[in-house]
Chains A and B, each alone.
Chain A
Amino acid sequence: MTIPIDLFAAVILVALAIVIAAPLILLAFWIADVKRGVLW
């Protein structure tokens, strides 16, 4: 029983979307922490 192409592609593309969004999320956290004065 092999994984079908559609499911295979969906798994890869969802994972890739999170990897692309992650740096933006980290930068948003950074800006929020700096504004609140709680970076470190």
Chain B
Amino acid sequence: MNALSDAILDASVGWSVLAAFSVLWIFLGWFWGRRAEALDDYVLAGRRVGLALGTATAMATWVTSNTTMAAPQLALQMGIWGMLGYSLGAVGLLMFAPLAGRIRRLMPSGYTSGDFVRLRYGNTAWRIFLVISLCYSLGWLVSMGMAGGVLINALTGIPYHYGMTVILTICVGYTLLGGFRAVIGTDFIQAILILVGLAFIAVLAIRTVGIETIHSGLLTERPELLSLLLPAGIMFLFNNLLFGIGEIFHSNVWWSRAFAFRPGVGGRAYTFAGLLWAPIPIVAGFVALAVPALDLNVPAADMVGPMVAATILGTTGAVLVLVMVFSALSSSIDSLLAATSILVVEDIYRRHLKPGAGAAHLRRVTSCVIVGLGVLTWALCAPRITTLAELLYFTGAFVASTIWPIAAGLFVRRAGSVGAITGMVLGSAAGILSYFTIGFYVAALVGAAVSMACVLVAMWLAPGKFNWKDLREQELAQGATA
């Protein structure tokens, strides 16, 4: 067995690549954000985003470090179903397409998913939702900050804490300078880099090792990974499907895009993003399945992706891997910083602490919250506490419990606060219980099922009669100050 104990890239090369892209992202952040003085310009890019940037930002944001690191890890643990199951994350984007159009129509002046839950279900459901959404956002941010440190360390030998600090600092920097315009502008470039890099790695893997050799290597050493009846894999497939839907339906990362897109763009952008995203985990997972054929020793499961890529590609190719993964990390971290900051500012600061705050004041507070979120994420990433996939799937129960309250709330008048509250609370509790008693791969499944039962039973026993016009709040005066 070949143990890959040393980093494939020299640390100085790694630092050079990081420095070059850091300068580029910061410059673009400043350039695109230099005129974003108004709140709507800063947090929602003026609500005029077109199809190209809309598709790219939805796709790039959904290509996380988990796609590039956890998808290969899951392929190696769950085989063909791990790859396909991860790929079903695209269903969340596809299913959100009609919701995005409806959100834009119902709430033309909305800012956050919290706005919707507050207006639709009242304060109790809203506060429960905020706890779920903020915990999830922070979990996602931490999982990606950790992934940055792990990956940069695996590829370049740069210590974990340095790599993690660099990626977080750069993302905070350009998001702070350019706001949402910088986020979606860089997302476009990052989407291109990710796709080209992944295609390059996969083509070289096929040319170097060969699909047939990879298949026969698996058949000899890990035949269970090619099994079409691997029970945990099939369970994972459905679990991931629901997890993906839950993540997208509730998270302000996706709602803020729905608010930011031009009227009529949201549905098409999310549909294209889903179709273009779906093959990415399959291709990334395929690369990991080369482990038996390459006779590699994998010391840590979450390092399998970069290890295989580095073994196949050598030094020059490893630079490409670093660029691709840096892009994947940046495109998600910047989106989370932007979307979570406006969630904190709108739903906590404005609605709980300073109801009279004007747009200009909220614009300044948003900048402070972006920096604060970056610092908090760094502090939580500093002790590397769990593997990436475990951290990611712990939140599955919570987010899956929001699917039915959100979907029913957008389309069904009869859906009321009782169903939403019990759905989120009981769904989360049941999902967490199953996480610890059965496994991570059923948490979202159970959470969504219990939540669905609660919402449907409540609609039947205590039907509401919501007036859709109640979702239209008065627009903030953009020039006003507190």
Contacts from A to B (Cβ < 8 Å) = 1-3, 5, 8-9, 11-16, 18-20, 22-23, 25-27, 29-30, 32-33, 36, 38-40
12 pairs, CB–CB < 8 Å, chain A vs chain B: A2-B223, A9-B215, A15-B87, A15-B280, A18-B276, A18-B279, A26-B276, A29-B51, A29-B56, A33-B51, A40-B46, A40-B53
Q: Report whether A26 and B48 are in contact in the complex, using a CB–CB cutoff of 8 Å.
A: no
In the complex, the chain B residue whose C-beta lies closest to that of A14 is B279
In the complex, the chain A residue whose C-beta lies closest to that of B281 is A15
Kindly list chain B residues whose C-beta atoms are within 8 Å of the C-beta of A27. Answer: 192
If A18-B279, A30-B188 touch, does A3 touch B228 (CB 8 Å cutoff)?
A: yes
Known pairs A2-B223, A22-B276; list 11 more (Cβ under 8 Å). A2-B219, A5-B212, A8-B80, A13-B211, A16-B202, A16-B206, A22-B195, A29-B51, A29-B55, A36-B50, A39-B50
A15 to B334 alpha-carbon distance, docked (Å): 27
If A19-B198, A40-B184 touch, does A25 touch B272 (CB 8 Å cutoff)?
A: yes
Kindly list chain A residues whose C-beta atoms are within 8 Å of the C-beta of B283. Answer: 12, 15-16, 19
Kindly list chain A residues whose C-beta atoms are within 8 Å of the C-beta of B196. Answer: 23
B350 lies within 8 A of chain A by Cβ: no
A24 to B184 alpha-carbon distance, docked (Å): 18
A6 to B229 alpha-carbon distance, docked (Å): 18
In this complex, the member of A11, A26, A29 whose beta carbon has the largest number of chain B beta carbons within 10 angstroms is A26
Q: How far is the CB of A3 from chain B (nearest CB, A)?
A: 5
Q: Looking at the complex, which one of B55, B226, B282 makes contact with A12 (CB distance below 8 Å)?
A: B282
B307 lies within 8 A of chain A by Cβ: no
Q: How far is the CB of B107 from chain A (nearest CB, A)?
A: 20
Q: Looking at the complex, which one of B215, B219, B279 makes contact with A15 (CB distance below 8 Å)?
A: B279
Q: Report whether B228 and A32 are in contact in the complex, using a CB–CB cutoff of 8 Å.
A: no
B255 lies within 8 A of chain A by Cβ: no
B191 lies within 8 A of chain A by Cβ: yes
Kindly list chain A residues whose C-beta atoms are within 8 Å of the C-beta of B212. Answer: 5, 9
Kindly list chain B residues whose C-beta atoms are within 8 Å of the C-beta of A38. Answer: 48, 50-51, 262
A12 to B188 alpha-carbon distance, docked (Å): 25
If A2-B226, A2-B228, A3-B80 touch, does A39 touch B282 (CB 8 Å cutoff)?
A: no
Q: How far is the CB of B36 from chain A (nearest CB, A)?
A: 11
Kindly list chain A residues whose C-beta atoms are within 8 Å of the C-beta of B59. Answer: 22
Q: Looking at the complex, which one of A2, A16, A40 makes contact with B50 (CB distance below 8 Å)?
A: A40
